[in-house]
Homo-oligomer: A and B are copies of this chain.
Amino acid sequence: MQISELDTPAPVIDLDKVEANIKALQNYADSHNIVLRPHIKTHKLPLLAHKQLATGAKGITCQKISEAMVMAESGIQDILLSYNIVGKQKIKPLTNLACLSDLKVGLDNEVALATVAEAATLADKRIGVVLEFESGNERQGLREVSSCLALAQKVQSHAKLYFAGLMTYPLGQYTDAWLNEAKSAFAKAGMDIPNISAGGTPAMYKAHEHPDITELRAGTYIYHDRATVNAGVATWQNCALHLHVTVVSHPHPDRVIIDAGSKSLSSDLISSGKGYGQLVGYEEAVIYRLNEEHGLVDISACTRKPKIGDRLEVIPNHVCVVSNLHDEVVLQRQGKVEAIVPVLARGKTR
């Protein structure tokens, strides 16, 4: 089957590009003795997670219990759940996940720690706890080294938990200063820090400039998108997921409508330049507005104008959220469809 025979909108993934992207980051990590633990949120596909592991990744990173469970069910053992798991409803699914995998959980507070401890007790199996610190992103994570050390000591005092290191997202301006203070405080308390993990694709090739970082959690690098191209860590050629769309209306000389709106592309602008995605071959076109099923494209600056019925390709602003919107993705090589596969960890919000 040729790509041109697919119904649209269709997310189409170039496997040659995927494999090259996986290798590029693995080579970088290997050459700097950094462990790679890819975040699967970008692809949500066990088959690509297994490709990442086969190329040298030590384990994977997931954000929610339900998406980690999909990966564990596919046979993946070494899982970091990099999210505060809070509340009694989470205990049973977390226990199941712990039984199936070699689980580490990231957290920044005692309520989450109590949830993880209860799951470890029920699973009768040790769970690693990775403490999240805040180093410039102002999202979450411990800000005070003293609070972090106290929490680490609490982890070590629990028979079914062990302290599995520190994590931050992304590499920030305060990462090194924070770690220097932490290393000194932990050493004084007689505690080792077994691993220090940083996340994020935009700064991935700077990980080695932070001497304490021993692990990298990157997700987007497997597909790349307009945001990572704009961040300077990829070229348009590296972008492996294109959304194939059709022009369905041409209501004004300067405007065409594509059959992909926020339900196919998401409303994420993610500071990627003008509009909601880059049209391949129409660099001057701007997808300037999305309704749920309509993408409004300003073609006033285009020398070549698309017309109704034309099939176009969009490189998304933020590819991870696009994976989450589609039940299936098309896998291709050299323009030929290899398979259409369900996005098994799509929609896993819990």
Residues of A participating in the B interface, judged by any CB pair closer than 8 Å = 5-9, 41, 63-64, 83-87, 89-90, 93, 108-109, 111-112, 134, 138-143, 246-252, 255, 257, 259-260, 262-264, 266-269, 289, 291-294, 296, 308-309, 311, 320-321, 324-327, 347, 349-350
Contact = CB atoms under 8 A, between A and B. Distances in A.
Given A7-B90, A87-B8, A89-B6, A349 B309 contact: no
A83 B329 CA distance: 23
Count this chain's copies in the assembly. 2
A268 B309 CA distance: 28
Which of A251, A289, A321 has most B Cβ within 10 Å? A251
Contact of A293 (B64, B252, B255): B64
Contacts of A7: 87, 89-90, 93, 350
Given A6-B89, A86-B309, A112 B248 contact: yes
Contact of A259 (B86, B143, B309, B311): B86
A342 to B, nearest CB: 11
B296 A139 contact: yes
A41 B247 CA distance: 21
Contacts of A296: 139
A64 B8 CA distance: 11
A129 to B, nearest CB: 15
Nearest to A264: B349
Nearest to A266: B267
A134 B89 CA distance: 50
Given A8-B89, A108-B249, A138-B255, 9 more contacts: A85-B248, A86-B308, A112-B248, A134-B251, A139-B289, A139-B296, A140-B251, A263-B347, A292-B324
| CB-CB nearest 4 A-B residue pairs | A7-B89, A84-B248, A267-B267, A140-B249
A326 to B, nearest CB: 7
A246 B87 CA distance: 8
Which of A247, A327, A349 has most B Cβ within 10 Å? A349
Nearest to A93: B7
Contacts of A347: 263, 325-327, 347
Nearest to A270: B267
A313 B112 CA distance: 20
Contact of A86 (B93, B247, B327): B247
A111 B266 CA distance: 27
A105 to B, nearest CB: 12
B108 A251 contact: yes
Given A142-B251, A246-B87, A349 B321 contact: no
Contact of A294 (B139, B143, B264, B326): B139
B269 A267 contact: yes
A305 to B, nearest CB: 15
A139 B349 CA distance: 33
A246 B109 CA distance: 14
Contacts of A269: 267
B294 A263 contact: no
A60 B252 CA distance: 29
22 contacts: A5-B89, A6-B89, A7-B350, A8-B350, A41-B292, A84-B259, A85-B248, A87-B311, A108-B249, A109-B250, A109-B308, A111-B309, A112-B248, A138-B255, A140-B294, A260-B349, A266-B267, A292-B320, A292-B324, A326-B347, A326-B349, A347-B347
